[in-house]
Chains A and B, each alone.
Chain A
């Protein structure tokens, strides 16, 4: 079955540690995205990539980094520079033409202890 796989689902981190969230898709989509969602809030765009080896900052990129070395993969690193990293992180993908429906992974919930 085609879809987006995020891992881990739940992650606990001590302050000062970097963590990397994995996102893999087998939908052959060109574009991939990372969103952050805080309780009771909407989705805020962290980074997105529309082609391999290229990515752009979203609205809240500070304290985060990404890479896009393969079409299928778009990992997100939450660095120690991110002041308030506890949140629900969603990875998504879509085609860059035609019907642009966004497909989401199941999300990763990061808690900083």
Chain B
């Protein structure tokens, strides 16, 4: 069983719409959650991190965490073509100190 699961996509949304990316994880004790964006051929870059239940907003991005249901999501408002990339969810599992476990990523396509 995968520890961090994401739908591989592609998720296609029109420009200006809200993109919703979801991630579920298996370790109930996980404390730290991260969303990375990766453009083709480039290294991942951090979009947001979240530790507490609820929503965390940063510009057009909102991360949502629900520990009881073991899912974390990323909302992108007013989607732009430049948002087209693969979005990786990562979790720090219990007892692994600093090691992040990544999902396989969701490819987002923002269409004109």
A interface with B by C-beta (< 8 Å) = 30-31, 33, 35, 41-43, 45, 48, 50, 88, 90, 94-97, 99-102, 104-107
B43 touches A106 (CB 8 A): yes
Given B32, B34, B104, which contacts A42 in the complex, CB threshold below 8 Å?
B104
Closest B residue to A93 by CB, please name it. Answer: B98
Is B17 an interface residue, CB under 8 A from the partner?
A: no
**Bound Cα distance from A90 to B100, whole angstroms:** 14
Q: Which residues of A contact B41 (CB under 8 A)?
A: 88
B104 touches A30 (CB 8 A): no
Given B32, B42, B98, B104, which contacts A107 in the complex, CB threshold below 8 Å?
B42
B interface with A by C-beta (< 8 Å) = 32, 34, 36, 41-46, 49, 88, 90, 92, 97-100, 102-105
The binding surface of chain A is classed by DSSP as: loop
B43 touches A107 (CB 8 A): yes
Q: Which residues of B contact A95 (CB under 8 A)?
A: 98
Closest B residue to A4 by CB, please name it. Answer: B43
**Bound Cα distance from A33 to B105, whole angstroms:** 19
Closest A residue to B31 by CB, please name it. Answer: A100
A42 touches B103 (CB 8 A): yes
Given B49, B88, B99, which contacts A31 in the complex, CB threshold below 8 Å?
B99
Closest A residue to B107 by CB, please name it. Answer: A40
B104 touches A94 (CB 8 A): no
